[in-house]
Amino acid sequence: MNLKEFVQQKFTDLYGTEPAFIIRAPGRVNLIGEHTDYSEGFVMPMAIDRAAWLAIRPREDGIVSAYSVELDDRAEFDIGNLGEPGEGWGEYLKGVTWALLDEGHELSGWEGVLTSDVPVGAGLSSSAAIEMATAMAYTVLAGDDWNAAAMAKIGQRAENEWVGANTGIMDQMISASAVKNHALMIDCRDLSTQLVPLPEDTRVVILDTMSRHTHIGSGYNDRRAECEAAAKHFGVQFLRDLNKVELQKNVEGLDKTVLRRAIHVVSENDRVLQSMKAMQNQDPHIMGLYMNASHDSLRDNFEVTNRDLDLMAALAQETPGCYGARMTGGGFGGCVVALVKTDRAEAFANEVATDYANVTGLEPQIYICQPMGGTEVVKS
Ligand code: ADP
Ligand code: MG
């Protein structure tokens, strides 16, 4: 049974009727462009074949009530009386509701079942998947067209202003607007996107170190503040506006740590643009080199890797068939992403898993993934 059938079945078990709509909102993996989104820079993620699935039917009383299969828990609230932000997974739904209301949307209630195979806290953005599923629920019930960029911003506001995690726009944008068989180069300044084909005969492999992060209270918000401090020092609005030459001038008086954060963002933006060319030229070798360089910079300049991520990336890079590998997502744990020759993908996954387990004693999860389309209604 696939997740669509599963969520449909769960809905029928709970409510004794078929859902009115089933929504799929994917998780994502970022191929390159890490910690650049909140500096209005460039990112290159793709949606993966793991997603949040939400089966719903409308309610007339302005109540939203959702049951999470994974958490075996129900989140319930009144759209007209959201109160203050609290704790728990329901805050993602409430946050989206709050942001939509704040922007003048008229919302109607719904109830249903949520299930997701996006691992939590692994850097594959299980939270954005839930936010976009929620945004789609309101959209489809209102009979509106899906406005991917607008809904991505709603999701980001939910996360930043309601949940309290200062994450950028990348996760919601890719979940909202991905295109099957492609990565997307997103300019996080104006949210314009460019489709990027994957090189032929390559697969994207995600290697989960099984070590975990949390955005709230982690170094994530510190990094954001450091990037803002660097931009201020250089007299630009965002680090996006700084190039390599300007970065070398004017470093006097700048804290060394803050300088290294700036070096990462400026060089990473450049790597994304170069990577896009490599992908368009169907050149996985060049793409892989940029991925490796990205990891080095995230480790040495941005300092958001941990021992497990460094080990996993190194093992992946050394394993035959791998063009390049880097940590992906916010860091401090989670996953490595690798670009691998198609006919080596299975063997690569097994070999890296064995090597990683031998060193750490941890059994990694490995996903050979497909680039999927963005948030959609799959049944209505
Ligand atoms: P990620 O990197 O996976 O986005 P976050 O910490 O940003 O990590 O978001 C994870 C949170 O999303 C969980 O703590 C939970 O609140 C919510 N979440 C993820 N999956 C589910 C699910 N299946 N059911 C309910 N809530 C979920
Ligand atoms: Mg998240």
* Whether residue 150 is found in the same domain as residue 228: no
**What is the per-residue pLDDT for 189?**
96
Task: Indicate if 231 and 364 belong to the same structural domain.
Answer: yes
For the segment 213-226, what is each residue's pLDDT rounded down to a tens digit? 665 456 888 999 99
State in Å: Cα 21 to ligand 2 middle: 25
Distance CA 251, CA 260 (A): 11
Return d(Cα 248, Cα 182) in angstroms, integer. 35
| Same-domain status, 215 and 188 | no
CATH number of the domain encompassing residue 188: 3.30.230.10
Q: Tell whether 134 and 251 lie within a shared domain.
A: no
Task: Specify the ligand 1 atom closest to the Cα of 119.
Answer: 3
Do 220 and 322 lie in one domain? The reply is yes
154-203 tens-digit pLDDT: 999 999 999 998 888 999 999 999 999 999 999 999 999 999 999 999 99
> Which residue has the CA at smallest separation from atom 24 of ligand 1?
68
pLDDT at position 218: 64
Looking at the structure, tell me whether residues 306 and 184 fall in a common domain.
no
Listed residue (237, 232, 173, 222) closest to 330, CA to CA: 222
**Which residues, 6+ apart, have CB-to-CB distance to 323 below 8 Å?**
202, 284, 285, 287, 288, 291, 338, 339, 340, 341
Domain check: are 320 and 266 in the same one?
Answer: yes
Q: How confident is the model at residue 106 (pLDDT cuts 50, 70, 90)?
A: very high
Tell me how many degrees the CA angle 269-229-152 measures, rounded to the nearest 5. Answer: 55
pLDDT score of 163: 96
**Given this model, what pLDDT does residue 122 score?**
78
pLDDT digits (tens, 9 = 90+) for 303-339: 999 999 999 999 999 999 999 999 998 888 889 999 9
Q: How many residues does the chain have?
A: 380
| pLDDT tens per residue, range 127-141 | 999 999 999 999 999
Q: Which of 4-13, 118-127, 190-199 has the lowest mean pLDDT?
A: 118-127
126 lines ligand 1 (CB under 6 A): yes
33 shares its domain with 116: yes
Q: Is the CB of 68 under 6 A from ligand 1?
A: yes
Ligand 1: which atom is nearest the Cα of residue 89? 16
Report the pLDDT value the prediction gives residue 212, as an integer from 0 to 100. 79
Which pairing describes strands 21-32 and 182-187: parallel, antiparallel, or unpaired? unpaired
Dump pLDDT digits (tens) for 29-44: 999 999 999 999 999 9
Burial classification of residue 81, based on how many CB atoms lie within 10 Å of its CB (0-12 exposed, 13-18 middle, 19 or more buried): exposed
> How many angstroms does the Cα of residue 126 sit away from the middle of ligand 2?
6
CA dihedral sign of residues 270, 375, 163, 108: positive
Ligand 1 pocket test, candidate residues 126, 156, 174, 221, most atoms within 8 A of CB? 126
Q: Which residue segment(s) compose the domain that 224 sits in?
A: 198-369
188 and 212 together in one domain? no
pLDDT tens sequence across 237-283: 999 999 999 999 889 999 999 999 999 999 999 999 999 999 999 99
Same-domain pairing of 219 and 278 = yes
- pLDDT at residue 213 in the model: 66
- The pLDDT, as a whole number, for residue 123 is 79
Domain match, 213 and 140 both: no
Q: What is the CATH number of the domain that holds 356?
A: 3.30.70.890
| Cα 377 from Cα 265, distance rounded (Å) | 36
Distance 214 CA to ligand 1 centre (A): 10
Mean pLDDT across the chain: 96
- Model-level pTM? 0.93
Contact 39, 265 (CB under 8 A): yes
Same-domain check for residues 40 and 180: yes
Nearest ligand to residue 216 Cα: 1
Give the ligand 1 atom nearest the CA of 329: 2
Residue 330: predicted pLDDT: 86
What is the distance in angstroms between the CA of the first residue and the CA of the last residue of the chain?
20
pLDDT digits (tens, 9 = 90+) for 71-84: 999 999 999 999 99
Domain count across the chain: 2
Report how far ligand 2's centroid is from the alpha carbon of 128 (Å): 6
* Catalytic annotation present for 171: yes
Pairing of strands 42-58, 182-187: antiparallel
User: What separation in Å is there between the alpha carbon of 321 and the centre of ligand 2?
Assistant: 30
Q: Which is the catalytic residue, given 37, 171, 208, 308?
A: 171
Q: Is 71 in the pocket of ligand 1 (CB under 6 A)?
A: yes
